[in-house]
Structure 1
Amino acid sequence: MFLAVRFSPAGWLNGLLLGLTCSTALPAFADTDPNLLTRNTLTGDWGGLRHQMDQSGIKFTGDYSGETAYNADGGLHRSTRYSQNIKLGVQFDLSKLYGLDNAGKVQLTINDRRGNSASEDLVGNRLPIQENYGGLYTRLTELSYERTLFTPALNVKLGYMAMGNDLGGLDSGILCNFMNAGFCGHPLNMSGGSGWTNYPNAHLGVRVKYDLSSSWQLRVAAFNVDPESNGNSSRAWHLGPKHTTGTVVPIELVYKHAGALPGEYKVGYYYDSSNVDRIGSDKEVSGRGGHYLLIDQAVWSSQSSEGRSLHAFGQYSSASEAASPFSKWYGTGVVLYKPFEGRPRDTVALGYGRAVPNPRSREMQQNAALANGTMSPNLDSAEQLIELGYGYQATPWLTLRPNVQYIIEPGAFSGQDIDNALVLGLQVKAVL
C-alpha cells in the first residue's frame, strides 16, 4: 500500500511544525506541573492529555538539536556556524487502539532542518562537524508498519524509512555522545560507496530482525536505491521512487551480553545492485559492496558508585574502491558515564577517527593538477578527527554538550592544502 501513497503537504503542515515548536517556549501552559527542571519533557504532559493518549495507543515524541561551531584556528575562515534539527513523531499502537493481539505499530516521523555548515564554509573538510546538517527543508522521514510475525523472535518492519534506524550503528547510542557525524550514526563511507543513505534520507524498504538466542540477533533488510531523491526538497513528501537504480541489501549479525561489563558487537555486509561509474574510467561497475565492524564494550565499572563506568568503542568500515571516493573508516574512543558523584547522567567522551580517500580519487586529482600545469599538494593519506566533549545533563529533558574538535588534513578529500583546524562547539539537545 505504501507504493501508492503520495504526500502533498499544504500550509497547515508547516503551521503545525511551527506551533509545536513554539509551544516549547511556554511550558507552563502545556503542563500542570510547574517544575520545569524535573519533568522528562520540555512541554510536559499537556495537562494529562499526553499520558492518556499514550495509554490509549497514541504516543507523541519530539526533540530538538542545535549545533554551534566556531573555527578558532586553521581551516578556511574564522567564524561561527549554526545548524538545527527538529523531529516530531507519532506512533500508533494498533493493539491498544483496536483491542487486538499483536496488531503492530505504525510510525510517522517528520524532520525539519535549517542552518549552515561549518565544514563547508569554515574548514573545508569531508566529515561533517555538525551531525545534524544536511537537507535543509521539512520532510517525511518515516511512515512504517512494524509487528512480530509467526513467533516473538521474528520482527518485521516495512514502509518508508531511513536505513540507519535499525542497521549500521550501535544500538547503545554511545556514538552520539559526539557532535561530528564521523562518529554519530553509521560509518559515512557506507553512503559514499553505495545506495546506503544518511538519516534523514528515507526510502522504501523492509527490515527483518530474528532473535537467534537471548544474546544473538540476525538483521536483514532491502531498500530501494534512488539517488535523485537524496537531499532533493521536491521529493520531500513523495514515497515512491523517482529513478530506481537498484536495491541495497545489508546483513548484520548482532551480539549483546549483559553483566557487570556489558557489550555490543556488530558485524555487517551490504551489497548495492546499482550500476555506477567506475572512478577514473568511462566504464561502469555492476554492483558495489562493503563490510563493517562495530563494538561497544564496558571496560570498567565502579564498585562503589552505581552507574559509573567506562566504555570503549571501535568502528571499522571498508567500501568498494571501484566506485567509492571514501574507501575506509577507522574510529575508536572512550566514554565515561557519571564522571562525578553528583552528576549521574553526565558523560565525558573522547574519540579518534580516520577517513581514508580512495587512491583512485587521489590519482585523478593529481592528474588534473598536472594537466593544469600545477603541482598537487603533498597531503597525508587521510582526514583525521579528534573530538573531546562533555555531556552536561542540565535537566531530564535538556543536554548541553560543549566540545572541541581537531581536524587533521582537512583537504585530504578535496586535494587542497588546508591547515589543520581547531573547532569549538556546543551541542544542545532537548526532548520536547
Structure 2
Amino acid sequence: MSLEKSASAARLCGAGIVLSLLLGSGAHAADLPTKAPPVPYAAADDFWTRPYLFGDLGRTRLKEQGISLALTLGDEAVANLSGGARNTGANAGQLAFQAKFDLAKLAGVQGGTVGLTLVDRFGNNLNSEADIPALQLTNEVFGRGNILRLTELSYAQKLLDDRLELKGGRLPVGSDFFFGECDFINLTFCGGQPGNILGGYIFNWPVSQWAGVAHFNLAKEWKISVGVYDANPNYLTTSDPTIYFLPGIPASNPAAGVLVPVELTWTPSGPLNGTWRLGGWYDGASTIDGGLPGIVTTIPGLGGVPDQNLGDQRGRFGVYESILQRLTVDGPKTQGWYTFLNTTVADHRTSFQDYQIAWGVKHSGTFASRPDDEVGFAVGTTHVNSAALGPNAGGNEVPIELWYGLQATGWMNLKFDAQYVINPGGRGFNAAGVKTDNAWVLGLRTAVRF
C-alpha cells in the first residue's frame, strides 16, 4: 500500500474510532483550548442552552465511572482587505477528540491517568493565499498538515500525596509548558509562544513527540516542571502515518536534539486567580534557522570565514515569561476582566525570529443581558534578528486584534474578529524584496462542542 493510501486509511480509521466512541458509548467534554469549560449537564435538556450539540449521550455517567471524552470543532474563516498581493479569503479548522481515563476509578490505580488526543486539521493559510509576508499566521489554526495527528498518548502518575506527577509518552510540549490560552486568531497571541517563533525545533499543538515530564508542587501555589523531549524534525512528517497517526519512532535526523524546558509556575488562588510562568529551555542541536548567515570566525590573513566545527559544538536556548491574571470579579461565574502578558527571548545566534511580546485583555460578561459573551483586545510584536539576511532584518511585525465573542448557544461560540498587521514580515517586504501594505484582516471563529 502506498504512503498516500496508508495516510488516507489511517485518517478514516481514526475518524471512525472517534465517532463510534462518542455516539456509541457517550462522552464528556474535557474541554480543549477553545472556550471555558462547559456548564454541568442539566436534566432539563434544551437544545439551545445545553452544553453539547448532541446532548448528554451518557457522558455524565461515563465521567463518574472514570472516562471523560470530548469532540470539539474549531473553524476560522478569514479574509484580507489590504496587504499582500491580492485580496482573498481562506478557511481552516480542526476537529479534536480528547479522552482521559482515570485509572483510580477504572482499575484501582490511585493517581494514574491515561490521555489520548487526536486532531484532524483542514483548510488553507490566508498568508499564503493572499501572499501576505507575515511572520505569524493570521489564522492560527492552520498548520502541520491537513491530516489526522496523534497529539497525545500518555500515562501520568501522581506520587507523594499528589505533590509529584510523572508523565511520559507522546506529548505536545505546550500541554505542560508555556502559555496555554488561545482566545485570538493571530498566532502571536495564541498557544506556546516559543514555538511560534522557533517552530523548526519547538513543535506546538497538534504535533507530539516522545517525551518525559515531571511536575513537583513546592507549595500550595508553587510548582516546578522539567521536561525532556525528542526534538527530531521528522515528527513534522505529513507522509508517514506510523509517525503522525501512530506512536512510531521517527528515523534519525542530523538536525535532531533533546529539548529540555524548565518552568516555575505560581497559581494565585482566590477570586483573583491566575497563572504566572517563568521558564527557559535548551536544545542540544546545532542547526540555525534559515535566513541567518553561518557562524563566522575571524582568521588572521583570511578575514571572516564560516566555521563549521564551531557550529557543530553549540546548542540553542531561550527564556520566557507568561502571565495570565484575573483583574476583577463582575459576576457570579467567570464575569470580569482578565489580562495576559507573554515575552519570549531566543538565542540570537541561531534564531531568525529572536523575540516576541504579546499583551492583551479580555472581558467576560460584556452585557448584563449576555453574561456569557466576551470581548478581547491584544497587541504584540515579533522581531527579526538584526543579523538576518534580507530586507526585513531588524524589523518588527506588530499585529493588533479586536474581537467580540457571542455565546450563540450553550454549545456554539462565534467570534467576530478584526486584525491589523503592521509591517508584515518585520519591515513589510515580501520574499521578492517588494514592499507590501499593512494588512487588514476580518475573521469569524466558530467553536462547537459535540
Asked if TM exceeds 0.5, the reply is: yes
Give the whole-Å Cα distance in 2 for the aligned partners of 1:274 and 1:293: 23
1:62-115 superposed Cα distances (whole Å, 9 cap, x missing partner) = 1100000011122221111000100112222222112x1415111111110110
What's the TM-score once normalised by structure 1's chain length?
A: 0.85
SS at match of 1:233: coil
Report how far residue 21 of structure 1 moved. Answer: 9.4
Give the whole-Å Cα distance in 2 for the aligned partners of 1:305 and 1:22: 34
Residue 58 of structure 1 is aligned with which of 42, 62, 67?
67
Give the whole-Å Cα distance in 2 for the aligned partners of 1:120 and 1:13: 29
Identify the residue that residue 52 of structure 2 maps to in structure 1.
41
Give the whole-Å Cα distance in 2 for the aligned partners of 1:102 and 1:306: 32
Report how far residue 52 of structure 1 moved. Answer: 2.9
Identify the residue that residue 92 of structure 2 maps to in structure 1.
83
Q: Which AA in structure 1 matches 2:337?
A: L
Report how far residue 305 of structure 1 moved. Answer: 7.2
Q: Structure 2: 5+ residue runs without aligned partners?
A: 1-6, 25-41, 295-305
1:312-350 superposed Cα distances (whole Å, 9 cap, x missing partner) = 211110011111111000111211121111222211110
Residue 196 of structure 1 is aligned with which of 194, 202, 207?
202
Give the whole-Å Cα distance in 1 for the aligned partners of 2:261 and 2:194: 15
Report how far residue 182 of structure 1 moved. Answer: 1.1
Q: Which AA in structure 2 matches 1:228?
A: N
CA contact (8 A) 2:236 2:244 kept: no
Report how far residue 210 of structure 1 moved. Answer: 1.0
Q: Which AA in structure 2 matches 1:40?
A: P
In the alignment, does 2:297 pair up with 1:288?
no
Report how far residue 380 of structure 1 moved. Answer: 7.4
Identify the residue that residue 92 of structure 1 maps to in structure 2.
101
SS at match of 1:55: helix
SS at match of 2:234: helix
Give the whole-Å Cα distance in 2 for the aligned partners of 1:86 and 1:145: 23
- CA pair 290-10 structure 1, distance change in 2 beyond 3 A: closer
CA contact (8 A) 2:89 2:129 kept: no
Cα RMSD, aligned residues only? 2.6
Give the whole-Å Cα distance in 2 for the aligned partners of 1:32 and 1:260: 29
Identify the residue that residue 391 of structure 1 maps to in structure 2.
405
Give the whole-Å Cα distance in 2 for the aligned partners of 1:299 and 1:90: 32
1:196-232 superposed Cα distances (whole Å, 9 cap, x missing partner) = 2111011000111111111111111110011122143
Give the whole-Å Cα distance in 1 for the aligned partners of 2:434 and 2:387: 16
Q: Structure 1: 5+ residue runs without aligned partners?
A: 1-6, 24-30, 366-375
Give the whole-Å Cα distance in 2 for the aligned partners of 1:337 and 1:266: 23
CA contact (8 A) 1:194 1:248 kept: no
Report how far residue 309 of structure 1 moved. Answer: 1.8
In the alignment, does 2:210 pair up with 1:210?
no
CA contact (8 A) 1:109 1:142 kept: yes
Report how far residue 195 of structure 1 moved. Answer: 2.4
CA contact (8 A) 1:105 1:146 kept: yes
CA contact (8 A) 1:63 1:431 kept: yes
Identify the residue that residue 169 of structure 1 maps to in structure 2.
179
CA contact (8 A) 2:374 2:404 kept: yes
Report how far residue 421 of structure 1 moved. Answer: 0.7
Give the whole-Å Cα distance in 2 for the aligned partners of 1:430 and 1:416: 40
- CA pair 351-153 structure 1, distance change in 2 beyond 3 A: same
Q: Which AA in structure 2 matches 1:293?
A: E
Identify the residue that residue 261 of structure 2 maps to in structure 1.
250
Residue 121 of structure 2 is aligned with which of 113, 122, 134?
113
What's the TM-score once normalised by structure 2's chain length?
A: 0.82
Give the whole-Å Cα distance in 2 for the aligned partners of 1:343 and 1:334: 19
1:255-313 superposed Cα distances (whole Å, 9 cap, x missing partner) = 121234333211111000112147301532521000001112233344x7764322221
Give the whole-Å Cα distance in 1 for the aligned partners of 2:20 and 2:77: 24
Q: Which AA in structure 1 matches 2:193?
A: P
Identify the residue that residue 420 of structure 1 maps to in structure 2.
438
Identify the residue that residue 27 of structure 1 maps to in structure 2.
none
Identify the residue that residue 268 of structure 1 maps to in structure 2.
279
Q: Which AA in structure 1 matches 2:374?
A: T
Give the whole-Å Cα distance in 1 for the aligned partners of 2:272 and 2:179: 20
Please list, as runs of the form range in 1=range in 2, the aligned pairs for 1:396-415 lying within 5 A after superposition: 396-412=410-426, 414=431
Give the whole-Å Cα distance in 2 for the aligned partners of 1:57 and 1:193: 35
CA contact (8 A) 1:67 1:130 kept: yes
Q: Which AA in structure 1 matches 2:203?
A: T
Residue 321 of structure 1 is aligned with which of 343, 348, 351?
348
- CA pair 191-114 structure 1, distance change in 2 beyond 3 A: same
Please list, as runs of the form range in 1=range in 2, the aligned pairs for 1:9-20 lying within 5 A after superposition: 9=10, 11-17=12-18
* Range with greater deviation from structure 2 (70-79 or 411-420): 411-420
1:138-159 superposed Cα distances (whole Å, 9 cap, x missing partner) = 1111110012023311111110
Give the whole-Å Cα distance in 1 for the aligned partners of 2:211 and 2:257: 12
How many percent of aligned residue pairs carry the same amino acid? 28
CA contact (8 A) 1:320 1:327 kept: yes
SS at match of 1:241: coil
SS at match of 1:340: coil
* Range with greater deviation from structure 2 (279-288 or 210-219): 279-288
Residue 231 of structure 2 is aligned with which of 215, 225, 232?
225
CA contact (8 A) 1:33 1:44 kept: no
Aligned pair count? Answer: 398
CA contact (8 A) 2:76 2:444 kept: yes
Q: Which AA in structure 2 matches 1:78?
A: N
CA contact (8 A) 1:251 1:269 kept: yes
Identify the residue that residue 104 of structure 1 maps to in structure 2.
112
CA contact (8 A) 2:22 2:69 kept: no
Identify the residue that residue 356 of structure 1 maps to in structure 2.
383
Give the whole-Å Cα distance in 1 for the aligned partners of 2:259 and 2:13: 35
Report how far residue 388 of structure 1 moved. Answer: 0.2
- CA pair 82-231 structure 1, distance change in 2 beyond 3 A: farther
SS at match of 2:415: strand
SS at match of 1:54: helix
Identify the residue that residue 338 of structure 2 maps to in structure 1.
311
